[in-house]
Structure 1
Amino acid sequence: MSAPSTRDGPPGGFGYGRLRLPALEWLRSYQRSWFRTDLAAGVTLAAYMLPAALGDASLAHLPPQAGLYACLFGGLVFWLFCSSRHTAVSVTSAISLLVGSSLGGMAGEDVARFSAMAAATALLAAAIAFVAWLVRAGSVVNFISETVMTGFKLGVAMVLASTQLPKLFGVPGGHGDVWECFGVFFRHIHETNEASLLLGGGALAVLILGKKLLPHKPVALFVVVGGIALATFIDLGVHGVKLLGEVPRGLPVPSLPAVDRHEISELLPLALACFLLGAVETAAIGRMFAAKHGYRFDSNQEFLAIAASNLASGLMHGFPVSGGTSQSLVNESSGARTSLSGLISAVLIAIVAVFFTELLRNLPQPVLAAVVLMAVASLVKVEELRRLWRVHRAEFLVAMTAFLGVLWEGLLKGVLVGAVISLVLLIRRVSTPHVAFLGRIPGAQRYSDLERHADNEPTPGILAFRVEAGIVYFNTDHIFDSVLKRLNAATEPIHLVICDLSTSPRIDMAGAHLFLTLHAELAKRGIALRVVEAHSNVRDMLRVEGLEEKIGRIDRFTSLAHAIDDDRKTPA
């Protein structure tokens, strides 16, 4: 394998199952010219993350400082452990809403208990991520398919909209599921506060224009600053507009959250869901940047980075964090060369938390709702849904199932529904592999799928097939039934069945027994069986289970074409 490219920056570090700090590796070759772009990206990232942190804290039903602490302390450690040079760790809308909707029933109206349980969830997510890193479970991020995530995010967008529209319109909001929230909103829409709607609608319009005219720029920061300035000079409270309120100045003292032992078991499903969402999003954005900039990405290493950042967030009174898609895009498009930009961003957020939090108290809630609603828009992949509808109807139905799972079962169960759907699809696909029945390619001594290539020439008296997957216990029935169905449908007598195993990299004991059963069934019909082009480990398994004694030598020399030629030369 070629060495990782360094044309866009220093190489990432890798280590499977052992503790390594990738940052220490690229810091050795860090160039001064990179610092200017990393600094600019860090400043831009901090400007983008500050309003997002406040908005996502409100989604989680947590005080605004919880969002600042999560981004600050998560960012201080994430850059050391991550293999991606451009991923930015942050609170995200999906995880924040998941935390808020799940903890509401556990903590009630007790803000202190709610904050403690959110911090404990971050610590549990850190523990799960650390265990995943220890067992090298990097492939776990592939269990939730992109199609399921498309439907899940659409459901998240609907839930987000149901919680933020009341704030935008200045009307009471519901506290139950998405249906109750929308129901309460529409029942009170006639009570709309005109000042709130005008302020929030104006902020939303500026954000939409900014996205079109100034993509990946911190437009949200200017909107937030403008809202604060307006509330400072005009008493918006007189007009019924709600403000953010006090945000404590300073940094918290690290401590373990005060939760009972029985509450930990109740928080485990939520922590697992937060980990799954964070792992999938962090891996997806990391792979995209690695492919674009020509370096290697290690999903297992990202588990350690997620573990470290959630540990820091939990100990410092934050809540679960992960790699954020929009934040990472802002970081990369601003010219970041290394993950040092994430550290710079965290330091700037710390400065705000220590010296300037009193400026945030006048932030109007409708403006904050507009910032969150803009994040909602990024979750709705309309073009992707249209493409699925046009090209992959079955995948579209999967996305809609995940979407409805979120709406009917809530976010926590919706995540698990999505994971189950993905696993069911995976099991379905591997349990029904394609069995290709082969014909000779005209003018060549090669054979390929007759179904895909109608001009291929069938071989009289011979049924040749190829299983395009490993042959294991959960797909043997499908393979056996497929061969017998084809055999029964043959319009002329078959005297030889040949299995080409070149596309079956492994076989287990049940797979070997499949061939013994097939041999016995064919023998009753007076049909011979041959196996060709088997891999070495496949040959070993077939020999151990006694197939070679039944059908003759299984070697690495005989190809499908040779077997057919040998049959033609053999006297009838």
Structure 2
Amino acid sequence: MPGDDRKGRYLPPGLRTLLAYRRDWLAKDVVAGVVLTMLLVPQGMAYAELAGLPAITGLYTSVLCLLAYAVFGPSRILVLGPDSSLGPMIAASLVPLMASGGDSGRAVALASMLSLMVGVITILAGVCRLGFIADLISKPTMIGYMNGLALTILIGQLPKLFGFSTDADGLIDEAAAFVRGLADGETVPSAVAVGSAGIVLILVLQRWLPKVPAVLVMVVLSIAATSVFDLGGRGVSLVGELPRGFPPLTFPEVRVDDLAPLAAGALGIALVSLADTISNATAFASRTGQKVRGNEEMTAIGAANAAAGLFQGFPVSTSGSRTAVAERAGARSQLTGVIGAGLIILMLVLLPGLFRNLPQPALAAVVITASLSLADLSGTARLWKQRRAEFLLSIAAFLGVALLGVLPGIAVAVGLSILNVFRRAWWPYNTVLGRVPDVPGFHDVRSYPEAERLPGLVIHRFDGPLFFANAKSFRNELMRLTRTEPPLRWVLIAAEPITDVDTTAADELEELDEALNAHGISLVFAELKDPVRRKIERYGLTRTIDPAHFFPTLEAAVAAYRAQTGAQWTRDTDSPRDPQDP
């Protein structure tokens, strides 16, 4: 493509796309930009309020992140903006720093600084090529985290849907405050009616008429209902007229002691944003034939967040739903986002009162339907059927969000993912192998109880690296295998799955070999990888382990044992058994 030549090699990805722009894309990008704007405006306002910020900041944020990604984003199709999954995290970062009844100006300044911090973190991650960071959250823990987030958002929006507000913080407190509000008669029936109708309308249109902009239809009908039924006079809160114009370039002013708490929130938000962006980029790239450039995506996300933070915005992420809308509308490049940003600016300058009669319960309906899309109940049920351990991880992540809060919840999710990796390395699968007639090779005796074995020989397979955490259990396992009748002569390690041996494990192997030698048993290895064999030699283990006891294949090791002992294959019940067998 022309944008890939030497002339454009050093330009930002968006400008390289511009050099390769095709004239026949223009009409499709314009149409997609118009359609996208219809979704950006109500969602931007709704997600701003979800984050505890004025609705107008959602529009400022949408404009800046779209323009920044158009310049720095490598994908021609991804759409960035305020996101329902980040809203509670932003609110959780701001609430502890806000005094009771704190002014909106301070909230905006804190959110803007949070966005700048997220931008710096993600830009550094991209420059340092740390794309693997997005893999710190496993899918089961992410499912649990998102389920907890969906429930948190849903409960938090119920008071607005019913026409009142609460000062509670946290899922349990918010649920209790909502119930108290209902019991105290604070419900506004007209608010419930318009909000509930909005939820039903969005869900029905998304299910049966997916090409229709459901959110836009609901917003238009809600504004019409305000005029027809005088909802404002019936106690329903309205958005009101938005400030005219666009904010100037502003560096947010916050207190020094605010920086550390904001930085902690920024790390969690950056991690979720990166994971969301990489997964969406991968999904849409596979459909459009584009190549995923993870490090460039991180840099672009950082630029978008930094730009939003300098114009009274808040942290953003990639939106799968808005990207899908743009794709269905025929978007061909990031010009779609530029057109969407331009239309929002025109609205702010020329028509700031366009949404003044939009009911607040309608915005709650937008957020609640978005929260429902975050939940993955079918995925949770699949984990229950497929792997109970990962189901429990998912539930633990869910409870972390529900009971501890959104930001601690992401820490729980990451921690559980890391612990799960460690658990698998700590207790890897291990078993005894035998020969199965008419099946080439050597096989797990648990899967083939009829497998034949050689008297005096046990073949043991350990499916993981040998390191400080599992070395002692590996040694104890082999010592248990030796307590059999007739006595063992060889313990043969099927070492192909052993990918590493650290110094602690090397010391354990040396002690194991000496203990086995004291009982007249030889420790033998087969199929040990060359890098691992070189480590063993560097550790000096060949001083105790006979170099002749390293074989290239299991077949060669077994043949050597049979030649030495004359043993014959047998299914004798006195043969050494796997200690984990029933």
Q: Same fold (TM over 0.5)?
A: yes
CA-to-partner distance for each residue in 1:178-219, whole Å, 9 max, x for gaps?
222222222232342222122222222211211111226421
1:552 aligns with 2:546: yes
Q: Give yes or no for contact 1:440–1:459 (8 Å, CA) kept in 2.
A: no
In structure 2, C-alpha distance between the alignment counterparts of 1:282 and 1:312, rounded to whole Å: 17
Aligned to 2:162: 169
Q: Give yes or no for contact 2:198–2:365 (8 Å, CA) kept in 1.
A: yes
Correspondent of 2:320 among 321, 325, 328: 325
Measured at CA, do residues 249 and 406 of structure 1 come closer, stay the same or move farther in structure 2, by a change above 3 Å? same
Shift of 1:493: 2.3
In structure 2, C-alpha distance between the alignment counterparts of 1:10 and 1:437, rounded to whole Å: 58
Shift of 1:223: 1.3
1:504 aligns with 2:501: no
Correspondent of 1:240 among 235, 241, 246: 235
Shift of 1:10: 9.7
Shift of 1:486: 3.3
In structure 2, C-alpha distance between the alignment counterparts of 1:83 and 1:555, rounded to whole Å: 54
1:528 aligns with 2:522: yes
In structure 2, C-alpha distance between the alignment counterparts of 1:396 and 1:227, rounded to whole Å: 41
In structure 2, C-alpha distance between the alignment counterparts of 1:82 and 1:160, rounded to whole Å: 29
In structure 2, C-alpha distance between the alignment counterparts of 1:364 and 1:23, rounded to whole Å: 38
Amino acid at match of 2:452: E
Q: Give yes or no for contact 1:70–1:318 (8 Å, CA) kept in 2.
A: yes
Shift of 1:274: 0.9
1:89 aligns with 2:83: no
Q: Secondary structure at the match of 1:171?
A: coil
In structure 1, C-alpha distance between the alignment counterparts of 2:145 and 2:97, rounded to whole Å: 23
In structure 2, C-alpha distance between the alignment counterparts of 1:388 and 1:213, rounded to whole Å: 29
In structure 2, C-alpha distance between the alignment counterparts of 1:398 and 1:208, rounded to whole Å: 30
Correspondent of 2:507 among 504, 513, 536: 513
Q: Give yes or no for contact 2:46–2:364 (8 Å, CA) kept in 1.
A: yes
1:486 aligns with 2:481: yes
Equivalent residues in 2 for 1:429-440, closer than 5 Å: 429-440=424-435
Q: Give yes or no for contact 1:435–1:479 (8 Å, CA) kept in 2.
A: no
Measured at CA, do residues 306 and 492 of structure 1 come closer, stay the same or move farther in structure 2, by a change above 3 Å? farther
Amino acid at match of 1:52: Q
CA-to-partner distance for each residue in 1:144-203, whole Å, 9 max, x for gaps?
122122222222222212222122221343432222222222223234222212222222
Aligned to 1:424: 419
Aligned to 2:130: 137
Shift of 1:491: 4.6
Q: Secondary structure at the match of 1:497?
A: strand
Aligned to 1:194: 189
Aligned to 1:146: 139
TM-score of the pair, normalised by structure 1 = 0.91
Measured at CA, do residues 113 and 440 of structure 1 come closer, stay the same or move farther in structure 2, by a change above 3 Å? same
In structure 2, C-alpha distance between the alignment counterparts of 1:459 and 1:299, rounded to whole Å: 52
Shift of 1:556: 8.8
In structure 2, C-alpha distance between the alignment counterparts of 1:485 and 1:290, rounded to whole Å: 52
Moved more, 40-49 or 241-250: 40-49
In structure 1, C-alpha distance between the alignment counterparts of 2:285 and 2:317, rounded to whole Å: 18
- Runs of 5+ unmatched residues, structure 1: 1-5
1:208 aligns with 2:206: no
Q: Secondary structure at the match of 1:361?
A: coil
Q: Give yes or no for contact 2:164–2:187 (8 Å, CA) kept in 1.
A: yes
Shift of 1:264: 0.8
- Choose 1 or 2 for highest CA Rg: 2
In structure 1, C-alpha distance between the alignment counterparts of 2:35 and 2:550, rounded to whole Å: 60
Measured at CA, do residues 368 and 254 of structure 1 come closer, stay the same or move farther in structure 2, by a change above 3 Å? same
Q: Give yes or no for contact 1:122–1:271 (8 Å, CA) kept in 2.
A: yes
CA-to-partner distance for each residue in 1:24-43, whole Å, 9 max, x for gaps?
44445444444444444333
Aligned to 2:96: 105
In structure 2, C-alpha distance between the alignment counterparts of 1:539 and 1:106, rounded to whole Å: 56
Aligned to 1:3: none
Amino acid at match of 1:153: M
Correspondent of 1:305 among 296, 300, 308: 300
Aligned to 2:377: 382
In structure 2, C-alpha distance between the alignment counterparts of 1:531 and 1:539, rounded to whole Å: 10
Amino acid at match of 1:125: V
Amino acid at match of 2:52: H
Aligned-residue Cα RMSD (Å) equals 2.7
In structure 2, C-alpha distance between the alignment counterparts of 1:114 and 1:465, rounded to whole Å: 62
Q: Give yes or no for contact 1:60–1:99 (8 Å, CA) kept in 2.
A: yes
Q: Secondary structure at the match of 2:238?
A: coil
| Aligned length in residues | 560
Moved more, 110-119 or 285-294: 285-294
Amino acid at match of 1:173: T
Equivalent residues in 2 for 1:385-400, closer than 5 Å: 385-400=380-395
Q: Give yes or no for contact 1:151–1:402 (8 Å, CA) kept in 2.
A: yes
Measured at CA, do residues 279 and 560 of structure 1 come closer, stay the same or move farther in structure 2, by a change above 3 Å? same
In structure 1, C-alpha distance between the alignment counterparts of 2:106 and 2:541, rounded to whole Å: 65
Equivalent residues in 2 for 1:446-465, closer than 5 Å: 446-465=441-460
1:475 aligns with 2:470: yes
Equivalent residues in 2 for 1:116-135, closer than 5 Å: 116-135=109-128
Equivalent residues in 2 for 1:51-70, closer than 5 Å: 51-70=42-61
- Runs of 5+ unmatched residues, structure 2: 567-582
Measured at CA, do residues 468 and 151 of structure 1 come closer, stay the same or move farther in structure 2, by a change above 3 Å? same
In structure 2, C-alpha distance between the alignment counterparts of 1:464 and 1:100, rounded to whole Å: 57
